[in-house]
Structure 1
């Protein structure tokens, strides 16, 4: 292999980006295929809770375990296991043989995706720079944006909700086959220079700081998901905004998230992470206040700014984990961060639902 991705670390980054596109495709497609999947099995919308429980339960377990497994068996081994589980899960879901096996497929998908999400985030945080972390999450946004379109192309043509999952299975299997090309990149790449200095260092007040960081991830991801989940209802029903305009406002929120992450990828290394977080926090406070107060009926216009402000927060904090909490346990802590993020994405929107 020659060109830009000729070295093992570059190949590892390329494969990691492919994984995050697939993570986004999955998250974006599930909601689109649900009505057809539901009807095929004679279920009601209440049954989506079972799907969500299997998916998020597997994800939580895998996120917590991923860091420990990476430390013991190496990144490549964990990556292969996660990719294999995800490919198998896509195939099981795509078969659609029964409701029970479909739920098993979603549980396996949660295990596979949770393993991959945690492992790749941790590897980027320890081995690479802020640029790659922004790129990683930007590509997730691309996948999440494309997922509904890919699924809709088959759902609209008839009862073919399983086809997108077969496509995802083939793509995931390709990643499994390609993973040996990234073995040296995953396992032998030296730490980033500022991370290397933390090796073996005892981090002062680490337990207290860890608790604060995990609490932040719970709240931040909960608010990020809640904003995307409930803004349409708030705008269209509580504020009387035209439904088409409300959908444009919500879409602009996700566009802001994706654009901001790509800007972080291509310009983030020029600005200190702490400065980026300060600017983003200030912008988020102003945008959130504007959206909540709806001054002059301009609340909806604040959503793309809020998405843009939110965009850098998750990748920047994950990327600084080895610096503030030590590289020796960064893989484990990133797993904990993603697990608490998942919990926040489940609990906070449910708590905020009455406000919508």
Structure 2
């Protein structure tokens, strides 16, 4: 039972990653077919981000009422509907319309699954969960590439991913009874047990606690610290993904093809690093993973900053920054119940998701504006600042929790 439910959760996170890179992979063709400027991709991603933030904040209330399984199934179904809508869109405004349910579905399933795994599974599973997101995000550009080269066109890619989401929705609906089982860690964290969600169980108890308004959650000591640390991490991750190639080619003079290849190593470092972190996450603990991750990102940023004639150090620094980034997101999420209590975890994780999307939405354009003013050389300094910000606030949270 435990393994079957975990497999379904992994599949759900692959499906969460699948649509995330479809817009970027298909946009060079999509904007031409739709007759809009290339820059309009920002409008589309902004609408998706707004919907994701809204549903992340509402996720706790919905999950308390309907349960994590049903919320996940409905959210995946909503995303599937939006993807089919994308495939039939013949005008840009139609894409904008379908981007609304797309964002709403993605945010709800993200927060619900992250909280469920944080409550009921060991740290290794949280790392592997986010590694599977990377698998989905890596597969969808291949689907788009096949659709474009086979004559299906970009609508065909959205149809394929939509069909995958529909299949997963059916699987989730058929396996809803599994979510009534609560997997809890022993106090030592040595192994997992499976118990019924009876009135005395942790999940049942958590569901009976009152919904926490946003203002009340923010006032919980330490919540602002973890939100700022999470904001900083997601900002540096997405700024690196968007601007690393431009920095390497435009400021360091790296061949564009080589720069693009090594920029992909940043994502590969995140995906592979999360898979590897799963094997020792339970032994070293979330705090060590977060601290070590930010320090590795900082070291990678320093390697990017060094004014050396060879490009090898800068390229290796970018790959190292990706490896350091790998465990930070899962560890922050997984440590939430321990830091703030199981009864508060879902409300706080929902707000963390919102902070994550704010960081990933606002900071890459901010760097773009700054770099056009002062130059692309600012990139490693920008990454170093965000890594330092994340480390400082996460360490302050640790001291606050220890003091309690």
TM-score, normalising length: structure 1 = 0.91
1:316 partnered with 2:331 = yes
Partner of 2:171: 178
Q: 1:273-352 alignment to 2 at 5 Å? A: 273-297=286-310, 298-352=313-367
Deviation of 1:20 (Å) = 1.6
Q: Which runs of 5+ in 1 are unaligned?
A: 1-6
8 Å CA contact 1:25, 1:147 repeated in 2 = yes
Q: Matched residues in 2 for 1:350 and 1:184: separation? A: 44
Q: Matched residues in 2 for 1:123 and 1:39: separation? A: 41
1:243 partnered with 2:236 = no
**Cα deviation per residue 1:252-311 (whole Å; 9 max; x = unaligned)?**
111111111001223322222222223223222211111123445421211111100110
Q: Matched residues in 2 for 1:273 and 1:339: separation? A: 21
Partner of 1:103: 96
Partner of 1:58: 51
8 Å CA contact 2:34, 2:90 repeated in 1 = no
Deviation of 1:159 (Å) = 6.2
Q: Matched residues in 2 for 1:41 and 1:280: separation? A: 42
Q: 1:160-309 alignment to 2 at 5 Å? A: 160-194=153-187, 207-297=220-310, 298-309=313-324
8 Å CA contact 2:46, 2:361 repeated in 1 = no
Alignment CA distance shift 1:44-1:320 (3 Å) = same
Pick aligned residue for 1:121 from 114, 130, 135? 114
**Cα deviation per residue 1:81-140 (whole Å; 9 max; x = unaligned)?**
201211111111111243333222121111111111111111000111111111111111
Q: What secondary structure does 2:221 align onto?
A: helix
Q: Matched residues in 1 for 2:268 and 2:347: separation? A: 31
Q: Matched residues in 2 for 1:288 and 1:207: separation? A: 33
Runs of 4+ more than 6 Å apart: none
Q: Matched residues in 1 for 2:180 and 2:344: separation? A: 16
Alignment CA distance shift 1:252-1:131 (3 Å) = same
Alignment CA distance shift 1:186-1:245 (3 Å) = same
8 Å CA contact 1:56, 1:110 repeated in 2 = yes
Alignment CA distance shift 1:184-1:270 (3 Å) = farther
8 Å CA contact 2:69, 2:176 repeated in 1 = yes
8 Å CA contact 1:32, 1:151 repeated in 2 = yes
Alignment CA distance shift 1:293-1:352 (3 Å) = farther
Once the two structures are overlaid, the 10-residue window that deviates more, 209-218 or 177-186, is 177-186
Once the two structures are overlaid, the 10-residue window that deviates more, 167-176 or 180-189, is 180-189
Partner of 2:138: 145
Deviation of 1:181 (Å) = 4.3
RMSD: 2.1
Q: How many residues align?
A: 345
**Cα deviation per residue 1:308-337 (whole Å; 9 max; x = unaligned)?**
011000001100100001111211211111
Q: What secondary structure does 1:191 align onto?
A: strand
8 Å CA contact 1:118, 1:335 repeated in 2 = yes
Q: Which runs of 5+ in 2 are unaligned?
A: 190-201, 210-217, 377-404
Pick aligned residue for 1:85 from 75, 78, 81? 78
Q: Matched residues in 2 for 1:11 and 1:171: separation? A: 19
1:94 partnered with 2:87 = yes
Q: What secondary structure does 2:130 align onto?
A: helix
Q: Which has the higher contact order (CA 8 A, sep 6+)?
A: 1
8 Å CA contact 2:70, 2:173 repeated in 1 = no
8 Å CA contact 1:123, 1:186 repeated in 2 = no
Alignment CA distance shift 1:47-1:238 (3 Å) = same
